[in-house]
């Protein structure tokens, strides 16, 4: 990392002095004002337009019988910082981190750090108190000037009926802020549509040893204004095995506080991303900037890639002389398929291990040493599924002994990592556990794919964590019900909403790649033989659009071999990139994006159920003559979603391409 501190000056040095303190972004568009007259409040504007009205920042703590809060602000320092850092496991190789900064010191041993970026603003509280304390609550408000339209992902499908035990997967309710369900929690990122096409996206970032942030609607008491307030899962005191298929640890008793602080600690960031142009959200680095720096000294062993996956396609392979399923022959076959198509990994999902252990009662139908050896011989790594509670020994506060034992055992056998499923919580215990697991995995050079969690910053600290679920991905098509003349949920609209919002927080394990594709009139949920909503090329475009250093190929080897032309194209697309260019897009409607790896460009476009004609400039590809390998929706794709057209053409940076996207369609190209 390189950092330049351009200016430093003390604004005020008198304890308990009230007033307004301002800081602006490097380009001057974003301005944050912190007022300390009665309570500490921050407000944010963009080009003079109000984004957040004064919103309270506070915290309530307890040390024994002593209760205290944030305290009064004394000294305030103002900086301008220009910084950058590299990340080879991201959508771009180098990330700029330039901002205006306020540091405000209180008489209760807290520092309030405020940053103004060109594309948003953020603050966090830093405790410098060396004594242990309990965080009873934290007050974080986001007050908007009017009853704006919002995209809200609500908490639903709670595990065991517990309010804060949830998979972090939700479709988006689109309604004015005033219509938010007052008894419901929402997860972040959450988008608010400001005037003139601007967006404000509320999120948290850099969460460590602290619960994640939910938000809910609360009337502000001011005319027309609407307020979102934070809520946090209280600290778990007791828990039991339960939830879906008894795979979870569900809290049965929670404390009257949300976190334990053992001493000095930085709390998570509360942020709002601001954009004039929706497409720019696709290239925003706020989550990366606010995350902890990488903690793995040598990352040379970390190799992202694609993975052949068994669960979505139900191990449906045909034309073989053995019964397919959770058995040795099936996984040898998956490995051969992966090797032939230069796919780096194979996942063995749920069913290889015992229900209550990763070390005992293993499936006798799978000769794991033989499978691992065959993978090694063919250059294909094996990743194993695990529930979170089995990996930690059903004890979130464990000393990592159980986790280390499992990690070492399977690393010695030669596996490459674990897909860890059913966290389904983000209270302080679970967040701490996620860090412990990542540290243990890094010790043994193992990769991780976290399910039942949204990304919260740990992925930069531990880049051996490739993916997070927390997304309504392709698996939902297996049980999607029909209502009237089509599916209940508008999946293509979600597909062009989640990249702007859910993906803003970090990579998402959507698991794309369906080769059975359907329009609304002929789609139906089928667990054993699943299909996708939208066109074949809509699925293919996901490999460039969706960020996932470990990107799934969800369909079966049989389906991919029957569609080898599409498979050959997908297999060429990297899972991390050197540069990203957001070309065009509208939240919930369509996306056009380009990513570069080395000298090759990967371009993709996706739409909702609305057909679209788009034009893109190729001015980003550089000088000279290039060859474009293109997949587009076929002329009959609206009748048969599998229809596509494959072509090649010569292009230059002076060219403009006309794209036609069918209903639920897509377009994608590799330009060399």
524 vs 379, 438, 480, 512, CA distance in Å?
37, 38, 7, 17
Phi, psi (rounded to 5 degrees) for 343: -95, 130
At residue 615, does pLDDT exceed 60?
A: yes
Question: Model confidence at 536, in pLDDT bands (50, 70, 90)?
Answer: very high
Q: Which has the higher per-residue pLDDT, 587 or 394?
A: 587
What are the pLDDT digits (tens) for 199-212?
A: 999 999 999 999 99
Query: How far apart, in whole angstroms, are the C-alpha atoms of residue 672 and residue 663?
Result: 29
Contacts of 613 (CB under 8 A, 6+ apart): 658, 659, 660, 661
DSSP 234: P
- pLDDT score recorded for residue 7: 44
pLDDT at site 9: 41
**How far is Cα 479 from Cα 489, in angstroms, rounded to an integer?**
11
Predicted pLDDT of residue 29: 98
Distances (CA, A) of 6 to 81, 98, 118, 395: 6, 11, 16, 47
| pLDDT tens per residue across span 544-566 | 999 999 999 999 999 999 999 99
What is the DSSP track for 541-588?
A: HHHHHS--SEEEE-S-HHHHHHTHHHHHHHHH--SS-SEEEEEEEETT
Please count the other Cβ atoms lying within 10 Å of the Cβ belonging to residue 488: 12
Question: Distance of CA 251 to CAs 241, 402, 452, Å?
Answer: 9, 21, 15
User: In this predicted structure, what is the pLDDT of residue 16?
Assistant: 38
Residue matched to tokens 């940076």: 653
pLDDT at 399: 79
Mean pLDDT of 580-602: 98
Q: Does the structure show a pLDDT above 60 at 19?
A: yes
pLDDT > 90? residue 107: yes
The end-to-end CA distance of the chain, in Å, is 31
Please state which of the ranges 115-124, 152-161, 186-195, 580-589 shows the lowest mean pLDDT: 152-161
pLDDT over 60 at 10, yes or no: no
In this predicted structure, the answer to whether residue 12 has a pLDDT above a threshold of 50 is no
pLDDT tens, residue by residue, 25-74: 999 999 999 999 999 999 999 999 999 999 999 999 999 999 999 999 99
In the 8-state DSSP scheme, what is residue 622? Answer: -
Angle in degrees, 0-180, between the axes of helices 401-413 and 368-377, rounded to the nearest 10: 60
Q: Count of CB atoms within 10 A of residue 486's CB? A: 18
Query: pLDDT for 350-381, tens place per residue?
Result: 999 998 999 999 999 999 999 999 999 999 99
Residues annotated catalytic, as ranges: 421, 475
Confidence category of residue 394, pLDDT binned at 50, 70, 90: confident
Element containing residue 289 per DSSP (H, E): helix 286-289
The whole-number pLDDT of residue 221 equals: 61
In terms of Cβ atoms closer than 10 Å to its own Cβ (0-12, 13-18, 19+), residue 411 is middle
Average pLDDT in the chain: 95
d(C-alpha 47, C-alpha 26), whole Å: 13
The two three-digit tokens of residue 519, written as one number: 């329009």
Whether 14 shows a pLDDT value over 50: the answer reads no
- Residue 225: pLDDT band by 50, 70, 90 thresholds? confident
For range 398-415, the mean pLDDT: 94
pLDDT-above-90 percentage for the chain: 93
Is-contact 580 593, C-beta < 8 A? Answer: yes
Residues 497-511: tens digit of each pLDDT? 999 999 999 999 999
1 pLDDT band (50/70/90 cuts)? Answer: low
Task: Give the per-residue pLDDT at 397.
Answer: 79
Q: What are 422-479's pLDDT values in tens digits?
A: 999 999 999 999 999 999 999 999 999 999 999 999 999 999 999 999 999 999 999 9
* Tokens coding 264: 């000095």
pLDDT digits (tens, 9 = 90+) for 431-447: 999 999 999 999 999 99
Quick one: pLDDT band at residue 400, thresholds 50, 70, 90? Answer: confident
Average pLDDT over residues 72-86: 97
pTM of the model: 0.96
> In the chain, what are the helix, strand and coil shares in percent, each to the nearest 5?
20, 40, 45
Q: Has residue 321 got a pLDDT over 60?
A: yes
């Amino acid at each position: 990392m390189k950092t330049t501190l351009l200016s430093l000056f003390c604004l005020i040095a008198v304890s308990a002095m009230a007033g307004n303190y301002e800081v602006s972004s490097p380009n001057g568009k974003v301005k944050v004002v912190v007022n300390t007259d009665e309570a500490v409040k921050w407000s944010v504007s963009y080009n003079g337009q109000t984004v957040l009205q004064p919103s309270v920042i506070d915290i309530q703590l307890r040390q024994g019988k002593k209760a205290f809060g944030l305290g009064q602000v004394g000294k305030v320092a103002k900086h301008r910082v220009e910084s950058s850092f590299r990340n080879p496991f991201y959508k771009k190789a180098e990330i700029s981190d330039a901002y205006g900064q306020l540091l405000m010191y209180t008489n209760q041993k807290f520092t309030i750090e405020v940053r103004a970026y060109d594309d948003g603003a953020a603050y966090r509280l830093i405790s410098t108190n060396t004594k242990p304390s309990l965080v009873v609550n934290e007050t974080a408000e986001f007050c908007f000037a009017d009853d704006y339209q919002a995209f809200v992902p609500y908490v639903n499908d709670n595990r065991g009926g517990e309010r804060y035990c949830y998979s972090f997967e939700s479709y988006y309710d689109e309604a004015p802020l005033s219509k938010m369900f007052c008894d419901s929690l929402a997860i972040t990122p959450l988008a608010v549509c400001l005037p003139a096409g601007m967006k404000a996206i509320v999120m948290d970032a850099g969460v460590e040893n602290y619960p994640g942030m939910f938000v809910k609607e609360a009337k502000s008491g001011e005319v027309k204004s609407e307020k979102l307030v934070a809520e946090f899962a209280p600290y778990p005191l007791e828990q039991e095995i339960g939830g879906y298929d008894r795979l979870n640890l569900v809290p049965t008793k929670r404390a009257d506080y949300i976190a334990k602080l053992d001493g000095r600690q930085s709390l998570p960031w509360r942020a709002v991303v601001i954009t004039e142009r929706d497409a720019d959200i696709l290239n925003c680095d706020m989550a990366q900037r606010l995350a902890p720096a990488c903690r793995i000294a040598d990352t040379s062993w970390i190799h992202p890639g694609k993975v052949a996956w068994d669960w979505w396609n139900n191990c449906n392979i045909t034309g073989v002389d053995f019964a397919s399923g959770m058995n040795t022959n099936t996984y040898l076959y998956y490995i051969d398929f992966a090797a032939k198509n230069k796919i780096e990994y194979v996942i063995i999902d749920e069913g290889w291990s015992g229900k209550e252990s990763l070390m005992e009662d293993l499936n006798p139908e799978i000769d794991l040493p033989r499978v691992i050896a065959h993978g090694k011989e063919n250059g294909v790594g094996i990743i194993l599924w695990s529930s979170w509670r089995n990996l930690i020994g059903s004890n979130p506060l464990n000393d990592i002994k159980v986790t280390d034992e499992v990690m070492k055992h399977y690393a010695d056998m030669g596996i490459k990592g674990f897909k860890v499923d059913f966290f389904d919580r983000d209270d302080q215990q679970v967040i701490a556990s996620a860090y412990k697991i990542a540290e243990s995995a890094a010790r043994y050079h193992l990769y991780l794919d976290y399910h039942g969690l949204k990304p919260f910053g740990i992925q930069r600290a531990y880049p051996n964590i490739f993916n997070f679920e927390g997304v309504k991905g392709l698996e939902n098509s297996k049980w999607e019900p029909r209502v009237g003349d089509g599916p209940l949920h508008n999946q293509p609209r979600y597909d062009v909403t989640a990249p702007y919002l859910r993906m803003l927080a970090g990579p998402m394990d959507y698991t794309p790649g369906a080769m059975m594709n359907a329009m609304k009139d002929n789609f139906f949920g089928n667990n054993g033989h699943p299909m996708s909503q939208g066109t074949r090329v809509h699925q293919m475009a996901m490999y460039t659009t969706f960020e996932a250093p470990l990107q799934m190929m969800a369909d079966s080897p049989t389906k991919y071999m029957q569609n080898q032309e599409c498979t050959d194209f997908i297999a060429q697309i990297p899972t991390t990139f050197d540069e990203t260019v957001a070309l065009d897009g509208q939240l919930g409607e369509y996306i056009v994006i380009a990513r570069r790896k080395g000298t090759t460009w990967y371009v993709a476009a996706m739409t909702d159920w609305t057909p679209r004609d788009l034009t893109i400039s190729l001015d980003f590809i550089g000088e000279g003559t290039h060859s474009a390998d293109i997949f587009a929706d076929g002329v009959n794709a609206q009748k048969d979603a599998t229809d596509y057209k494959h072509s090649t053409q010569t292009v230059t940076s002076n060219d403009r391409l006309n794209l036609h996207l069918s209903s639920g369609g897509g377009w994608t190209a590799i330009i060399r």
